[in-house]
């Protein structure tokens, strides 16, 4: 994403302390506890969280305050929050080395978000496609929180002065807004380089996993059809059934990448296969070129069950041990607050808030 004209092409003073420790920077990322954690969340984000943990200082957050921008049953939210933390752990994130925590346990996120509400412009927020999609036609009835959502997301990142953010493709616009907020804050308060201009880390063969029922629509937690997604807690039978039923077209498997691109359902399944197998998509296209979908789907099922089965099983095990998950979340929040507290104090000073 950064190019020669981007502000991040200049030497980044925020990286120096990490480089001195042999690290590339500091990561913050978040996942909403809104149920139905799926293959898109895993391949686009959570799997990468684990892969980045030896190169960066990492903070991974379950964003419960973002979740309530649309109605959440208070009786379910706690369990859903634990489930996301369990998914981080099951995917291989080391809870002792990194901070795994819930957003509401670190009040500095909300405190910085208010300041960012005053930095971000209404015109910027009006361009956010996620708000338009989520609010739908009845925009008047959407919560104010849903509208302000991206300013809170910027605060999640910048309260730690995070330099890098691993996410799926769909979060790109929110990260561009985070960069705009950082740049405007630094300019408005004459505090050059106070906040870093954060780099998104969007990588892998499946940065945008599509619905199994419609290759032109993103795989999503809120799709009413459970057949549209593979959930991380699905067992082998459910995975097999969903892949068998996944939409395809009447032709044999694509012969080339250009052919695949014109056939979104096939392209999506090929991307999923490549990501799960950790292979280049072109190589997978060559392997299955001209074969029947039934043969490919059998191979995909075997691969998905082998890769996702152990993660689902570990999540189930962890969800039966809420005491352990809570202890990881508590320690994570404590660690996160030691980073966020001094940064918020600096922000308050910069803004001119009196500390009587």
State in angstroms the smallest separation of the CB of 231 from ligand TYM. Answer: 12
Asked if 63 interacts with ligand TYM (CB under 6 A), we say yes
218 is catalytic: yes
28 or 305: CB nearest ligand TYM: 28
Could you give the CA distance from residue 140 to residue 145 in angstroms, rounded to a whole number?
13
Nearest-CA neighbor of 232 among 49, 47, 28, 29? 47
132 is catalytic: no
Task: Name which position in 90, 105, 119, 165 contacts ligand TYM (CB under 6 A).
Answer: 165
221 is catalytic: yes
How many CB atoms are closer than 10 A to CB 254? 20
Asked if 156 interacts with ligand TYM (CB under 6 A), we say yes
Q: What does DSSP assign to residue 230?
A: -
**Per residue, what are the HEC states of 136-199?**
CCCHHHCCHHHHHHHHHHHHHHHCCCCCEEECCHHHHHHHHHHHHHHHHHHHHCCCCCCCCCCE
35 or 254: CB nearest ligand TYM: 35
Residues paired with residue 26 on neighbouring β-strands, in sequence order:
57
129 or 292: CB nearest ligand TYM: 129
State in angstroms the smallest separation of the CB of 165 from ligand TYM. Answer: 5
State in angstroms the smallest separation of the CB of 264 from ligand TYM. Answer: 13
Asked if 109 interacts with ligand TYM (CB under 6 A), we say no
Number of residues that bind ligand TYM (CB under 6 A): 25
Site string for ligand TYM, 17-56 (x = CB under 6 A): -----------xxxxx-------xx--xx-----------
Helix extents (H) in the chain: 16-20, 39-41, 47-52, 64-67, 74-90, 108-119, 122-126, 129-135, 144-158, 172-188, 236-245, 257-261, 264-277, 281-288, 293-319, 322-351
Task: Name which position in 218, 242, 281, 307 contacts ligand TYM (CB under 6 A).
Answer: 218
State in angstroms the smallest separation of the CB of 212 from ligand TYM. Answer: 11
Beta-sheet pairing, 164-166 with 199-201:
parallel
Between the alpha carbon of residue 135 and those of residues 142, 171, 178, 348, the distances in Å are 6, 17, 21, 33
Residues of span 174-193 touching ligand TYM by CB under 6 A: 174
11 or 207: CB nearest ligand TYM: 207
Could you give the CA distance from residue 202 to residue 176 in angstroms, rounded to a whole number?
13
> Which residue among 24, 221, 247, 335 is the active-site one?
221
Asked if 198 interacts with ligand TYM (CB under 6 A), we say no
State in angstroms the smallest separation of the CB of 185 from ligand TYM. Answer: 17
155 or 284: CB nearest ligand TYM: 155
Between the alpha carbon of residue 269 and those of residues 219, 273, 346, the distances in Å are 12, 6, 48
Asked if 157 interacts with ligand TYM (CB under 6 A), we say yes
Nearest-CA neighbor of 257 among 298, 233, 234, 287? 287
> Which residue among 161, 218, 242, 307 is the active-site one?
218
* H or E segment to which residue 29 belongs: strand 26-31
State in angstroms the smallest separation of the CB of 151 from ligand TYM. Answer: 11
Q: Which residues contact ligand TYM by CB under 6 A?
A: 28-32, 40-41, 44-45, 63, 66, 153, 156-157, 165, 167-168, 170-171, 174, 207-209, 218-219
Residues forming the active site: 134, 218, 221
């Amino acid at each position: 994403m950064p190019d020669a004209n981007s502000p991040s092409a200049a030497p980044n003073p925020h990286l120096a302390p990490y480089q001195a420790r042999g690290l590339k920077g500091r990561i913050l990322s978040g996942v909403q506890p809104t149920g139905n954690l799926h293959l898109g969340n895993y391949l686009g984000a959570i799997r990468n969280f684990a892969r980045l943990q030896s190169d960066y200082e990492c903070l991974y957050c379950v964003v419960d305050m973002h979740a309530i921008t649309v109605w959440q049953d208070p009786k379910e939210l706690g369990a859903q929050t634990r489930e996301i933390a369990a998914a981080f752990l099951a995917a291989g994130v080391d809870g002792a080395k990194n901070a795994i925590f819930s957003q509401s346990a670190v009040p500095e996120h909300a405190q910085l978000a208010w300041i960012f509400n005053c930095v971000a412009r209404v015109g910027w927020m009006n361009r956010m496609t996620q708000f338009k999609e989520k609010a739908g036609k009845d925009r008047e009835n959407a919560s104010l929180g849903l509208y302000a959502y991206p300013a809170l997301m910027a605060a999640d990142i910048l309260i730690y002065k995070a330099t890098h953010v691993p996410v799926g493709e769909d979060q790109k616009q929110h990260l561009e807004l985070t960069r705009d907020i950082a740049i405007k804050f630094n300019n408005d308060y004459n505090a050059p380089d106070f906040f870093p201009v954060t780099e998104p880390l969007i990588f892998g063969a499946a940065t945008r996993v599509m619905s199994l029922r419609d290759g032109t629509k993103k795989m999503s937690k809120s799709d009413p059809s459970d057949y549209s997604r593979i959930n991380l807690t699905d067992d082998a039978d459910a995975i097999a059934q969903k892949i068998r039923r996944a939409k395809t077209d009447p032709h044999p498997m694509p012969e080339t990448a250009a052919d695949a691109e014109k056939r979104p359902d096939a392209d999506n399944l090929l991307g999923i296969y490549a990501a799960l197998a950790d292979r280049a998509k072109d190589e997978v296209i060559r392997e299955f070129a001209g074969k029947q979908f039934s043969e490919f789907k059998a191979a995909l099922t075997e691969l998905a069950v082998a890769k996702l089965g152990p993660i689902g099983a570990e999540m189930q095990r962890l969800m039966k041990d809420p005491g352990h998950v809570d202890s990881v979340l508590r320690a994570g929040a404590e660690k996160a607050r030691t980073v966020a507290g001094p940064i918020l104090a600096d922000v308050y000073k910069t803004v001119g808030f009196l500390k009587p």
